[in-house]
């Protein structure tokens, strides 16, 4: 039984990556039709940019919250209901008749962008540690292709739905993505199980915040929770700059965000107060270092965060540097995202095969950093195919590093995989906002582009070297099963017995 099989754990993998694929098709269904929406609704350029900002605003908290929900209720229910919910904001956006409705529905659609973290836990339940890197890489890479698929197809779908008219039928095209997502949510609900037969789904002992196992980790968790709120403060500032918020409204939102962090810190204390006070000490076999989570968050800032930032500026970069038409520049730029089809899986496979997940992670980040530094030298005197080749090489190492990150996430602490995945995933969006904000303050033209790639390269090198010194090799990285499951039904035997008609719980 192999990857092309649609039985046992491979069946779960294929059903789950397609669920993730649909969430990204839905999440990215605005950009390919932005120009048409602007013209048909009479929006200004600032309003279009505001909608784009709102598209990512709630993704950060959504990934954290979805991580908690899936640890408690399981990925089957969480993924199904997220897809079903996606129908509502998609239809709201498709039939919006005002700018405010566009904003509200786009904010809600940002929640759909958090769906990635759900499948991480599902895949880790069905694949053993020695295979989890490749499986998570396939899940992440093939699902991530939803963004490129949306960019490549939605404009054509809208044109076809116009039935020969001169205006693209963007409303029906966007509505259809949500309807398909909702239908697949129902299919997913009745087609998968959270775990292989005979296995118990492990849940956290307490809910509402991440469970830590030492007093020192409590303070590190509080510190690492700051950026997930601070990024929303930055987005609020950007919305105020484009006139969506007044200064007074911006200050009110900042006050709310501060209150949210205080509440979040209180919940962290409530869940972990016995550890902080010294009344409880976890046995050595049940402890995990939160430093491991913090390092994975930083790796995802530099790899996935940089990917989102580069994708947003790459078409304009090629258009400006090589005097290309917007259409050709867009096609050249899309090659960066298309690499997800195999590069992320390659990173996971390398992590499985090279014998050290720590060193695989560090080397991929360092090479990624060097590739970005090389990209900073691209100029009009370059041969275009050579620039494209370097861009695709950089893309490979960026996405391979993403695959390597999520080959480690399920191995940190099994019962907390959802929350850890959510925190790490949220930091990817934190990185994207940080990098794009930095880019917006750089000089225009090729000078700013060069500095931007240098920032990305230096960041990759720094985090890569930090991994060498602070990232730990996970225990039982290449075991045949997860710790604590050895006494239960073996994974291989269980999945061999799983039939195409898997019953639901």
Which of 197, 137, 41, 87 shows the shortest CA–CA distance to 360? 137
Angle between helices 384-408 and 129-161 (to 10 degrees): 130
Predicted local distance difference test score (pLDDT) of residue 480: 66
Q: At 397, list the tokens.
A: 């190492």
- Is 49 contained in some domain? yes
In a domain, 251, yes or no: no
Residue 46's domain comprises 1-203+480-505
pLDDT > 90 fraction of the chain, expressed in percent and rounded:
49
Q: Name the DSSP class of 202.
A: P
Residue 43: φ, ψ to 5°: -90, 155
Q: Among 43-52, 228-237, 242-251, 286-295, whose mean pLDDT is lowest?
A: 43-52
Q: What is the mean pLDDT of the chain?
A: 87
- Highest-pLDDT range among 86-90, 159-163, 344-348, 439-443: 86-90
**Structural Rg of the chain based on CA atoms:** 22
Task: Give 493's pLDDT tier (boundaries 50, 70, 90).
Answer: very low
DSSP 33: G
Higher-confidence position of 326 and 441: 441
3-state secondary structure 352-398: HHCCCHHHHHHHHHHHHHHHHHHHCCCCCCCCHHHHHHHHHHHHHHH
Closest to 113 in 3D by CA, of 153, 133, 138, 85: 85
How many domains does the chain contain in total?
1
Is 127 within the bounds of a domain?
A: yes
> Looking at the domain assignment, is residue 376 inside a domain?
no
Alpha helix (H) residue ranges in 376-502: 384-408, 417-440, 445-470, 491-497
**Does residue 131 sit within a domain?**
yes
Structure tokens at 5: 């099989």
In a domain, 189, yes or no: yes
Q: How confident is the model at residue 484 (pLDDT cuts 50, 70, 90)?
A: low
List Cα–Cα distances, 26 to 106, 467, 475, in angstroms: 11, 34, 37
Please give the pLDDT value at position 167: 67
Tell whether the model's pLDDT for residue 495 goes beyond 80: no
144 found inside a domain: yes
Question: 21: part of which helix (H) or strand (E)?
Answer: helix 8-27
User: CA–CA distance from 141 to each of 17, 53, 66, 136, 239 (Å)?
Assistant: 9, 24, 20, 8, 31
pTM score, two decimals? 0.85
Rounded Cα distance, 448 and 289, in Å? 39
Q: Quote the DSSP letter at residue 475.
A: T
pLDDT at 159: 85
Confidence of residue 93 (pLDDT cuts 50, 70, 90): very high
Distance, CA of 190 to CA of 204 (rounded, Å): 25
Is 395 among the domain residues? no
Domain harbouring 16, CATH code: 1.20.1250.20
- Using alpha carbons, select from 191, 194, 188, 184 the residue that is nearest to residue 86: 184
């Amino acid at each position: 039984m192999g990857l092309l099989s649609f039985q046992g754990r491979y069946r779960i993998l294929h059903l789950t990556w397609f669920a993730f694929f649909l969430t990204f098709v839905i999440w990215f269904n605005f950009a390919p039709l932005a120009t048409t929406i602007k013209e048909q609704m009479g929006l200004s350029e600032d309003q279009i940019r505001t909608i784009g900002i709102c598209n990512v605003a709630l993704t950060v908290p959504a990934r954290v919250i979805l991580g908690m929900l899936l640890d408690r209720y399981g990925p089957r229910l969480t993924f199904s209901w997220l897809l079903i919910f996606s129908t509502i904001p998609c239809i709201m956006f498709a039939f919006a008749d005002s700018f405010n409705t566009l904003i509200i529905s786009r904010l809600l659609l940002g929640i759909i962008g958090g769906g990635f973290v759900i499948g991480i836990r599902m895949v880790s339940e069905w694949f053993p540690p020695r295979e989890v890197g490749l499986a998570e890489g396939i899940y992440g890479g093939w699902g991530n292709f939803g963004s490129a698929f949306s960019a490549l197809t939605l404009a054509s779908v809208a044109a076809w739905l116009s039935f020969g008219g001169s205006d693209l039928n963007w409303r029906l095209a966007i509505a259809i993505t949500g309807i398909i997502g909702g239908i697949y949510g129902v299919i997913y609900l009745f087609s998968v199980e959270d775990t292989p037969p005979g296995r118990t789904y492990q849940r956290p002992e307490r809910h509402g915040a991440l469970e830590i196992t030492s007093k020192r980790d409590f303070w590190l968790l509080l510190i690492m929770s700051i950026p997930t709120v601070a990024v929303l403060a930055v987005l609020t500032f950007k919305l105020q700059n484009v006139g969506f918020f007044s200064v007074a409204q911006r200050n009110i939102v900042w006050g709310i965000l501060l209150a949210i962090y205080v509440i979040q810190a209180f919940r962290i204390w409530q869940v972990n107060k016995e550890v902080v006070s010294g009344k409880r000490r976890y046995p050595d076999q049940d402890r995990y270092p939160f430093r491991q989570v913090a390092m994975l968050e930083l790796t995802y800032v530099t790899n996935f965060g940089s990917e989102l930032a580069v994708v947003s500026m790459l078409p304009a970069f090629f258009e400006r540097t090589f005097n290309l038409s917007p259409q050709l520049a867009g096609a050249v730029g899309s090659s960066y995202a298309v690499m997800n089809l195999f590069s992320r899986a390659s990173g996971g496979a390398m992590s499985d095969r090279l014998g050290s997940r720590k060193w695989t992670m560090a080397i991929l980040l360092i090479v990624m950093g060097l590739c970005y530094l090389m990209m900073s030298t691209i100029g009009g005197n370059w041969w275009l195919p050579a620039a494209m080749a370097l861009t695709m090489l950089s893309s490979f190492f960026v996405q391979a590093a993403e695959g390597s990150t999520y080959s480690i996430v399920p191995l940190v602490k099994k019962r907390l995989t959802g929350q850890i995945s959510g925190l790490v995933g949220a930091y990817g969006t934190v990185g994207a906002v940080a990098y794009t904000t930095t880019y917006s303050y750089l000089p225009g033209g090729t000078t700013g582009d060069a500095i931007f790639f240098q920032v990305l390269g230096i960041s990759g090198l720094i985090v890569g070297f930090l991994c060498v010194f602070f990232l730990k090799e996970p225990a039982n990285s290449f075991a045949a099963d997860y710790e604590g499951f050895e006494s239960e039904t073996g994974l291989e035997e269980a999945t061999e017995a799983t039939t195409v008609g898997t019953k639901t719980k």
